[in-house]
Structure 1
Amino acid sequence: MAKNSARDIEVKAFATHHVITQPNPLRKVLRRVEAKDMDDPVGRAEQALAGLSGEFKDWMATEVDRLSAAWAAIQKDGFDDARRGELFRAAHDIKGDAATFGFPSAAVIAESLCRVIEHAPDLARVPAELFSHHINAITAIVHENTRLDSLSVSSELSRRLRKVADEYLAHVNRDRPEHLEAILAPSIVPGE
């Protein structure tokens, strides 16, 4: 960039101070575009998203299959760090993607499952039904979420699963106050 010369700098003197204004060098590189030629990146993104929306259910089905496979491996061989990690990552990915892909209740349930995995002191002692209910609910929401009346059912299901998971976690962590604050915190998943 070229340096400004002293004559390009404007100085306004006031009784108590001076205001120094230098020219904006970006004006030389700025290109004016007529309104008819303006690009709308948000509009293009929305069009691209609409074009992909037909694939959302397939993507979610793939994530649900990954979650189910992780749970099946744990049922077969028990918990270890790798299987625990895979179950958590699968649930966490669903938590992050489900609302965007049109399955907000699945996101709430996946968050609840993540909380169980993260805060239970001993995953081997968590009732298997707690895991199964979460995974089965996510599977049902993704595979059967085609009717409008299913939204109220899935919303109620997600609320109840969260409540059961929170009660369980509060009970098993009653002697671990550092976990209780996180367990009793409100959901971070966007509302339905």
Structure 2
Amino acid sequence: MAKDTSNDLKVETFAEHQVITQPNPFRKIIRRVDERNADDPVTRAEEALAGLSGEFQGWMNEECHRLACAFETVAKDGFTGPNREELFRAAHDIKGDAATFGYPMAAIAADSLCRILEHAPELTTVPSDLIAHHVHAIQAIVRESPRARAKDTADELSTRLRRLADEFLIAANQNRPEHLEAVLAPSIVPGD
């Protein structure tokens, strides 16, 4: 039986140098595929996403309803721990899903709301209108998104909300430099 030398180092010696070739342990486990039948996982994922795209509007409507319910609970019962958490999670989920589902401006507005909930030193000092405007803006952006001029309006609305949120947070965190640094940091939301 011949010895398998595919795991041995190969050394080629030349006059001024040596070339050392390491073994490729994956050679034994990699399956070669005929180029004509090559599977492209990215293409498969894009096709799957396109197949689900008809569901995106419904999913975003459900997320907006969840956000509205969380806001109603906060308006009625105040910022208790669970109420704050549910409002934050609803906004955070929209922030994460909206760009994928085709609503990038809703993601920006949801990010702004998340920032308020994260960085306000005392949530009872946050003007209720500021939170209400964020919730209503997210709902409007999702509702109006298919309309022709909605993108420009959504962009302006999201930008203004972010500016108002930042102004509030900067004023509220004047004595908290660690939060002020986070408030002034640029957003990482896609499309922002």
TM-score (norm 1): 0.90
What is the rounded CA distance, in whole Å, between the counterparts of 1:90 and 1:13 in structure 2? 65
Q: Counterparts in 2 of 1:1-192, with a 5 A limit?
A: 4=4, 9-13=9-13, 19-21=19-21, 23-191=23-191
Percent identical among aligned pairs is 59
CA deviations 1:77-118 (Å, max 9, x no partner) are: 111111111111110110011011011110000000000000
Report the 3-state secondary structure (helix = DSSP H, G, I; strand = E; otherwise coil) of the residue aligned with 1:11: strand
User: Aligned partners of 1:185, 1:28: CA distance in 2, in Å?
Assistant: 48
> Structure 2: 5+ residue runs without aligned partners?
none
- Tell me the alpha carbon deviations over residues 40-59 of structure 1, each in whole angstroms, 9 at most, x when there is no partner: 21111111111110100111
Rounded Cα–Cα distance in structure 2 between residues aligned with 1:183 and 1:63: 25
Q: How does the TM-score come out when normalised to structure 2?
A: 0.90
SS at match of 1:154: helix
Shift of residue 32, structure 1, vs aligned partner: 2.8
Distance verdict in 2 for CA 1:169–1:4, change over 3 Å: same
Is the alpha carbon distance of 1:40 and 1:84 closer, same or farther for their aligned partners in structure 2, counting shifts above 3 Å? same
Question: Partner letter of residue 186 of structure 2?
Answer: P
Decide which moves more: 26-35 or 67-76. 26-35
CA spacing shift, 1:7–1:135, aligned 2, 3 Å: closer
Amino acid aligned to 1:147: R
Residues 1:181 and 1:15: Cα distance change in structure 2 (over 3 Å): same
CA spacing shift, 1:34–1:77, aligned 2, 3 Å: same
Summarize the Cα distance change of 1:36–1:169 in structure 2 as closer, same or farther, 3 Å threshold.
same
Is the contact between residue 130 and residue 165 of structure 2 (CA under 8 Å) also seen in structure 1?
yes
Report the CA distance between 1:15 and its aligned residue.
6.3
Q: How many Å separate the matches in 1 of 2:173 and 2:8?
A: 69
The change in CA–CA distance for 1:40 and 1:5 in structure 2 (over 3 A counts) is: closer
- Number of aligned residues: 190
Q: Which runs of 5+ in 1 are unaligned?
A: none
User: Cα deviations across residues 113-163 of structure 1 (Å, max 9, x unaligned)?
Assistant: 000000001101211000100000000111121112110001000000000
* Aligned residues: CA RMSD: 2.2
